[in-house]
Amino acid sequence: MNDRRHKVSSRKNELLFEGSDWNFELLERTYHAIEDIALNDLGLDVYPNQVEIISSEQMLDAYSSIGMPLMYQHWSFGKRFVHDEQMYRKGYQGLAYEIVINSNPCISYNMEENTMPMQTLVMAHAAFGHNHFFKNNYLFKQWTDAEGILEYMQFAKSYIAKCEEKYGTEAVEEILDAAHALMDHGVFRYRRPPKPSLRDEERRRRERADYEESQFNDLWRTLPDKADDALPPETEEQRKARMQAMQLPQENLLYFLEKHSPALQGWQRELLHIVSKIAQYFYPQKQTKVMNEGCATFVHYYIANRLYDLGKISEGALLEILHSHANVVMQPDYDDPRYSGLNPYALGFEMMQDIRRICEDPTEEDREWFPGFAGC
pLDDT by residue for the chain (376 residues), tens only, comes to: 455 444 444 555 689 999 899 999 999 999 999 999 999 999 999 999 999 998 888 888 877 777 777 788 888 888 888 887 787 777 767 777 788 989 889 999 999 999 999 999 999 999 999 999 999 998 898 888 888 888 888 888 999 999 999 999 999 999 999 999 999 888 888 766 555 555 566 666 666 666 555 555 555 566 565 555 555 676 777 667 767 766 677 888 998 888 888 888 889 999 999 999 889 888 888 889 999 999 999 999 999 999 999 999 999 999 999 999 999 999 999 898 888 889 999 999 999 999 999 988 888 998 989 888 887 7
- 171: in domain: yes
What is the amino acid identity at position 357?
A: R
Longest dimension (CA), the chain: 105
**pTM score of the predicted model:** 0.81
Residue 266 in any domain: the answer is yes
Q: Is residue 196 within 8 Å of residue 152, measured between CB atoms?
A: yes
Q: Could you tell me if residue 195 is inside a domain?
A: yes
Give the domain range for residue 176: 149-218+232-287
Q: Which of 180, 175, 189, 183 is nearest to 249 (CA)?
A: 189
Please write the tens of the pLDDT for every residue from 234-287: 677 766 776 776 667 788 899 888 888 888 888 999 999 999 988 988 888 888
Residues whose CB is less than 8 angstroms from the CB of residue 219 and which lie 6 or more positions away in sequence, other chains included? none
Which phi and psi angles does 51 have, rounded to 5°? -100, 125
- Let me know if residue 257 belongs to a domain: yes
Chain centroid to CA 358: 29
Beta-bridged to residue 111, according to DSSP, are 54
Radius of gyration of the chain (CA): 26
Domain count, the chain: 1
Distance CA 262, CA 279 (A): 23
Q: Is 103 helix (H, G, I), strand (E, B) or coil?
A: coil
Residue 376, in any domain of the structure: no
In a domain, residue 200? The reply is yes
User: Is residue 212 one of the residues assigned to a domain?
Assistant: yes
The answer to whether 152 and 277 have CB atoms below 8 angstroms apart is yes
Residue 93 lies in a domain: no
**In angstroms, rounded to a whole number, what is the distance separating the alpha carbons of residues 313 and 221?**
76
